[in-house]
Every structure is written in C-alpha cells, then in structure tokens.
Structure 1
Amino acid sequence: MKTFLIALLVTALCAERASSLFCYTCDNEHSNWNCLKTYKCEDHEKYCVTTYSSAGFGKDIGHRITKKCSVDCPETNVNFGMAAYSTKCCSTSLCNFSGANSIKISYAVMFLGVVASLICVIRAGL
C-alpha cells in the first residue's frame, strides 16, 4: 500500500498541468470594447496575442485591434512616424484585456521629418 501511495504521489507531481488558456478575441476592430469576447484556445496555443495598428495624423488617426490565441509569440513594435504597428503577447488566461500596447505616433520623428524637409527646401533655394 505504501508503494502504491508513493507511486501515486510521484505521478501526481510529475504530471503536466492540464490547464486551458482563455484569451480575448476580435478581428480588426476600431475599439477595445469590441474585443472582450472570450475564447478557449486550443491545447497547442500557448499565447494570447494583441495586434494594434494606427495610422493618420491629429483627428484623422485610425486604430485597429486584433486579439487571438497563438502558437508562437511574434512580438513586434514598428513606428513609421504617422503609422505604427505593435504585437504583444502574454501567456496567462485573459491577459490580453487591454488594447493599448504603448504604441504612439512619434511626434519627435514627425518633427525631424518636417525640419529635414524645410532644410532641403531652403538649400534648394525655393
């Protein structure tokens, strides 16, 4: 009986936890409020991924959010001045609640672009 209990204890300690990952999901939404539907990920999907993109200037900025389950973690953060793209991932259930991934249009980059353009215009004598 003692051997059986020890074997049972070893089996319980060595067994992999069978926990399911839940993520918020949406596809190409304008607002994070539209991205609060939960989804049970497949067993092989280990990450919740949030992709956030924005483009435009001032009041004409457009935002898009996509959330899903994923097998891998493709984190990116690209900023092109007036356009930006970011992918963040996490690995606990419902961890991708927020749609804001600290992605902002870089006003410093835009300012440097305007200054460089002005310098080119002045040097050309226009």
Structure 2
Amino acid sequence: MKAFLVALLAAVLCAQQVSSLFCYICDNEHSNWNCMKTYKCEDHEKYCTTTYSTAGIGKDMGHRITKKCSVDCPETNVNFGLAAYSTKCCSTSLCNFSGANSIRINYAVVLLGIVGSLICVLRVGL
C-alpha cells in the first residue's frame, strides 16, 4: 500500500499541469446573443478578447462584436467621432461573456468636425 501511495504521489508531482482556457467566440456579429459559442483555446493562447465597434449616427448606427482566443492582450479604445473601436481582454475561462465594452460615439467631436468644415467652406467661398 505504501508503494502505491508513493507512486501516486510521484505521478501527481511529476504530471504536467493542464490549464485549458475556454473563450466565447464569434466573428463580426450584430448581437452578443450570437456570441455564445465556446471554444477551447490553443495552449499558446492565454487571453480571451472582445472587440466592439460602432459606426454611424442615430438610427443608422451599426454595432459589431468579435470574440476570440488571443496570444497577446491588445487592449484598445479609439473614438473617431462617427466610429469607435474597443478591444478588451481577460485571462480566465469564459471571461469574455459580456459584449458591452465601454465605447460611445462622442457627439461633441462630431459637432466640432462639422463646425470646422463649415468654417473652412465659408472661408474658401469668401
């Protein structure tokens, strides 16, 4: 019995620890509800990422969500006024459940761009 316990202890101590990361995946979807498929990441992929992008204004605004496994953590948050792009990452299984990254179109930037364009047009016309 002692020999068995020693062998079992040696096997446990020498066994390679397996840490499988699972992420939700989808590609360019309109809704987070379409991003509920799970995927076992490759051993070298250590992060789950969620990329959320918006473009347009008012009722014509479009949203896109992409979720995947990733080797690195490319967190970004870019806002161009009429378009915005955000990527968040996390490192525990199924941690990229939410599709709501915190990006919003900045209407002040849009208004400033329109006013600037009008000033340029009016100056050229004079």
TM-score of the aligned structures, taking structure 2 as reference length: 0.81
Q: Structure 1 regions of 5+ residues with no counterpart?
A: none
Structure 2 equivalent of residue 102 of structure 1? 102
**What is the deviation of 1:70?**
0.9
Matched, 1:34 2:34: yes
State the Cα RMSD in Å. Answer: 2.4
2:113 maps to what in 1?
Answer: 113
Equivalence map 1:63-102=2 (5 Å): 63-102=63-102
Unaligned runs of 5+ in 2: none
Counterpart CA distance in 1 for 2:71 and 2:121 is: 50
Moved more, 111-120 or 94-103: 111-120
Shift of 1:15: 7.2
Offset of residue 107 of structure 1: 1.1
Q: CA deviation at 1:122?
A: 4.3
**Given the two structures, how large is their TM-score scaled by the length of structure 1?**
0.81
- Between the aligned partners of 1:23 and 1:116, the Cα distance in structure 2 is 44
Structure 1 range deviating more: 110-119 or 52-61: 110-119
The aligned counterpart of 1:24 is: 24
- Tell me the amino acid that sits aligned with residue 43 of structure 2: D
The equivalent residue for 2:51 is 51
| 51-60 or 116-125, larger mean C-alpha shift | 116-125
**CA shift at 1:46, angstroms?**
0.4
Could you list the per-position Cα deviations for residues 68-126 of structure 1 after superposition, in whole angstroms to 9, with x for gaps in the alignment? 11111111111111011111111011110111111111112112112222333444456
1:93 counterpart SS class: coil
For structure 1, which segment, 116-125 or 35-44, has the greater mean C-alpha deviation from structure 2 after superposition? Answer: 116-125
Between the two proteins, what is the percent identity of the paired residues?
Answer: 80
Matched residue SS, 2:119: helix
